[in-house]
């Protein structure tokens, strides 16, 4: 397995196979556990502005958390514009399908990176020490590498996405916390 860990393409395939074996019921139960962990996490509960993501079908489903947080916090979701990702204010009634078929905010006001207190980040695979492998486009790494970005980074995934090691490149940004379920 160590040889597979050095090849990102093979690792993504391996993780997809692991996730395909999870039932819808298991994913739902695990998503609920992840949301409860995030709610209880001090970084999230103490944050004023929280950036999350619109989950794809193979990612933890966080819509209930997004709704819950939006009642008392400023919640942001990403929008991909060309090769750039920016965060915009979330409103349930102002969402539309964007890049890659992902639900994105329709808002026109972008929020600056230095205004975000915590960011919840998806990934294909994580290590317990915070290394993250995304889908390969580098949107999150580019965003979190901006000089003004200071938010606490919380990676979220299913337990099957936790691996022993990942190939880490100089541009990869480590997570401060990894929450799995």
Predicted confidence pLDDT, tens digits, the chain (181 residues) = 344 456 888 889 999 999 999 999 999 999 999 999 999 886 677 899 999 999 998 999 999 999 999 999 999 999 999 989 999 999 999 999 987 788 999 988 899 999 999 999 999 999 999 999 998 889 999 999 999 999 999 999 999 999 999 988 888 999 999 999 9
- What CATH code is carried by the domain that includes residue 25? 3.40.50.10420
- Given a contact cutoff of 8 angstroms between Cβ atoms, the answer to whether 47 and 118 are in contact is yes
* Tokens found for residue 90: 């979330």
- Given a contact cutoff of 8 angstroms between Cβ atoms, the answer to whether 139 and 85 are in contact is yes
Domain count for the chain: 1
Domain around 16:
2-180
Q: Residue 171: count other Cβ atoms within 10 Å of its Cβ.
A: 9
Predicted TM-score (pTM) of this structure: 0.92
């Amino acid at each position: 397995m160590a040889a597979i860990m050095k090849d990102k393409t093979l690792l993504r395939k391996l993780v997809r196979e692991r996730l395909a074996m999870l039932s819808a019921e298991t994913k739902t139960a695990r998503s609920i556990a992840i949301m409860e962990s995030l709610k209880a996490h001090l970084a999230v509960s103490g944050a004023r502005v929280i950036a999350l993501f619109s989950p794809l079908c193979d990612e933890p489903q966080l819509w209930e958390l997004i709704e819950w947080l939006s009642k008392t916090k400023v919640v942001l979701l990403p929008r991909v514009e060309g090769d750039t990702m920016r965060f915009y204010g979330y409103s349930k009634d102002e969402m539309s399908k964007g890049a890659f078929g992902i639900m994105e905010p329709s808002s026109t006001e972008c929020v600056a990176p230095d205004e975000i207190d915590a960011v919840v980040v998806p990934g294909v695979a994580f290590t317990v020490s915070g290394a993250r492998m995304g889908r390969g486009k580098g949107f999150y790494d580019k965003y979190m590498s901006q000089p003004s970005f200071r938010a606490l980074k919380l990676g979220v995934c299913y337990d099957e996405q936790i691996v022993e090691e990942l190939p880490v490149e100089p541009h990869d940004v480590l997570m401060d916390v990894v929450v799995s379920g």
